[in-house]
Structures are given as C-alpha cells and as structure tokens.
Amino acid sequence: MPLNTYSPSTMTRSLAKHVKVVEVGPRDGLQNESGPMLHASVKANLIDQLAAAGLTHIEVAAFVHPKWVPQMANSAQVLQLITRHKHVSYSALTPNMKGLERAIEAGVDEVAVFGAASESFSQRNTNCSIAQALERFEPVAKVALDAGLKVRGYVSVVVDCPYEGPVSPSMVADVAEQLIDMGCYEVSLGDTIGTATPGRMLEMVNVVSQHVPVGQLAGHCHNTYGQALANVLMLLEAGITTFDSSVAGLGGCPYAKGASGNLATEDLAYMLHGLGIKTGIHLDRLVRVGQNISDLLGRTNGSNAGQALNGQAC
Ligand code: HMG
Ligand code: MG
C-alpha cells in the first residue's frame, strides 16, 4: 500500500489524532438503489464485513415509511441477521414515534432523527415543516434516551437546497441547536447534494459552532461535485472529528435528484491515515468489502482509493 504521509504539524491548525468514522453505506447508500430491494441477508453480510474491517459506528437501517423508501422495508430483518460485535454501535433512522417503536423492537443501539435547514426539503423528505419535524423529534429523543439509546441528529441541506438554492447558516445553526437541546449527543451536518465548496462549508460551520460546540458536530459530505474530501479537510481544520462516509461511495438521496453517494469510506480512510490520523479502519479489508458490494450491485466502484488499491496486492 502506498504511503502518502503529510505531517499534521504543517497544517494551519494541529489536526486530531483520531477521527470517528460513521459508516452510512448500508442506509444512505442502499436506500437509493433503484432495483428490487436487496435481500436482508445481503445487507447483513455487508454490515458484518464492515464491522470486520474496523468500522465501529454503522448506520444499518431506516425505520421510515416503506412506501417512501422501499429499499429500507426489510430493516428489522437486517438487524436480526447481523452478527453483533460488542465494539460496534448499530444505528437506524427514526423520523417519528412509529419509527422509534419499530427500531426499539428491532434492537438498535442508537437512533437518528433527521431534520433539514430548508422548508422545501423538509416537506419533500418528511412531509412536514421544519418546526413540525422538530416537534415530532422531541418525544422520539425522550423515549429513546429513557430506553438507554443514544440519539444522533442530522441537519440536511446545510449549504444548498435542491429546491431553494443557498441556505442561510443561521437556519442550520438554529436547527442544530434545537437537536442538541432535545438530547442529541451529536449533529451531523449534511451537504445533501454535494455542491458545497470548502469556503462555504467553513462559513457555515463558523456560524453553527457559535451555537453548538464543535466537538458535537459531524460532517456528512456527499461527493456529487467531487468536493467531499476537500470539505472534510476544511472541517477537520475547523475542529470537527467525526465524519460520515459510505463504502464504495454508495448512495445518494431519494429526495435530492442528481445527488450522488457520500464520500467513499476508503477515500476518507486513505486521506486520514495519510495525515497520520487513526480511524481503526483496516483499509485493505475495507477495499475488498467495497469491491464486493460494487460487483454485487453491478456498479463501478465509487471509491478512487478502492479502485487504485484493488489493482494492487493490498
Ligand atoms: P407521513 O405519511 O407524513 O406519516 O410520513 P403520517 O404520520 O401521516 O402517517 C401516514 C401513514 O404512514 C400511517 O399509516 C402511519 O402508520 C405510517 P396508515 O395509518 O395510513 O396505514 N407511518 C409509518 N410507517 C412505517 N414507519 C414509519 C411510519 N410513520 C408513519 N416510521 C414519514 C412521514 C417521515 C414517515 C415519511 O415522510 C417518510 O418515511 N419519509 C422518508 C424519509 C427518508 O427516509 N428520507 C431519506 C433519508 S434522509 C437522508 O438521506 C439525508 C441524510 O443522509 C443526511 C443528508 O445527506 O443530508 C440523513
Ligand atoms: Mg446523506
């Protein structure tokens, strides 16, 4: 494996020594597949392989309406079939109490509520306004916390909305702060359509971090315009140390036409390891997982590092 190290001491701010990677491929990636629903055993096998490759936070399912996101309809079965690892947190999206009840019954470790920073995206994604979504999340967070589950929050369209254009950073800050106030331990900032460039990302985070401590923020960068790694580096410099990514760059968003997958986990790990930042990920194993799922779905591997390392004995 080529070594491409770059001393963090040469960066403008000293970077974290360890980054938490949240693998969202089995949810954010597979939710977007247009073919027939992947069998639960195929998804469970992917999740088990990701755990074996060192991922410790895996978003495995979404307890949303199956009519809206048909690929997630077998979420409960997926959770049944996973071989649980003690060191792994298995999480799922829960937009409302009905979703939370299903998630608790399925035995998740963690749930995530997902809001948006634009009204149009909130309506398209969850069929309600931003305020109504936040109102629905209140009891979800309370009951989940009472049940001993961790609760994560998302804010989508933090820079641009596919329906409204540029989004005000103060809207993002407002939603993020409300998610933290209701008990989310972390808020993941979603560049849902991948249009953000590093300067705009920084501008947004500078505003949000005046309301939510930077240690409770995460980056969720879709790679539609090839900006995701650059955006992650900018967010790292701003002090964020948790990033979401998707094996083989799988995915997109069903409510954001043209949005491509998240930053590939292989590309993220390659860059972080090159910076001397630990992730706990075994990149060689992950590369095989990414190639296997790409072959299975009949698609080109969306990870540059994955493709490059696949061509070598890794
Ligand atoms: P709704 O239709 O407004 O819900 O959907 P409702 O409360 O009016 O109920 C209508 C029917 O749906 C009822 O059934 C409910 O029981 C049922 P009926 O009485 O008619 O038979 N229902 C449910 N069924 C199963 N599971 C549930 C559930 N809730 C209600 N949880 C809802 C509201 C939010 C459920 C719907 O809009 C939905 O499922 N949306 C899907 C949203 C989604 O999954 N989007 C993609 C994930 S978010 C994303 O990708 C962005 C992210 O990656 C970050 C980024 O990139 O920015 C996280
Ligand atoms: Mg996403």
Successive 10-residue mean pLDDT values, the chain, 314 residues: 48 84 97 91 98 98 96 98 97 98 98 98 97 98 98 98 97 98 98 96 98 98 96 98 97 68 96 98 98 93 95 56
Token pair of 93 as six digits = 């999206």
The confidence score (pLDDT) of residue 12 equals 54
The confidence score (pLDDT) of residue 160 equals 97
**For the CA of 246, the nearest ligand:** 2
Q: Is 124 in the pocket of ligand 1 (CB under 6 A)?
A: no
C-alpha dist (Å) from residue 199 to 123, 159, 204, 236, 268: 28, 11, 9, 13, 19
The confidence score (pLDDT) of residue 139 equals 98
Q: Whose CA is nearest to atom 1 of ligand 1?
A: 127
The confidence score (pLDDT) of residue 14 equals 86
Q: Which residue of the set 161, 184, 221, 253 is catalytic?
A: 253
Cα torsion 42, 47, 48, 50 to 10°: value is 130
The confidence score (pLDDT) of residue 1 equals 44
**For the CA of 121, the nearest ligand:** 1
Question: What is the pTM assigned to this prediction?
Answer: 0.95
Buried b (16+ CB within 10 A) or exposed e, 139-151: ebbebbbeeebbb
Token pair of 207 as six digits = 């505003």
Q: Is 98 in the pocket of ligand 1 (CB under 6 A)?
A: yes
* Ligand 1 atom at minimal distance to the Cα of residue 62: 44
Our measurement of the distance from residue 250's CA atom to the centroid of its chain's CA atoms, rounded to an integer in Å, reads 11
Strand-pair partners of 22: 57, 244
* Ligand 1 atom at minimal distance to the Cα of residue 65: 39
The confidence score (pLDDT) of residue 5 equals 47
Token pair of 258 as six digits = 């043209």
* Ligand 1 atom at minimal distance to the Cα of residue 262: 56
Q: Catalytic residue at 253?
A: yes
As a whole number of angstroms, the distance between CA 254 and CA 285 comes to 29
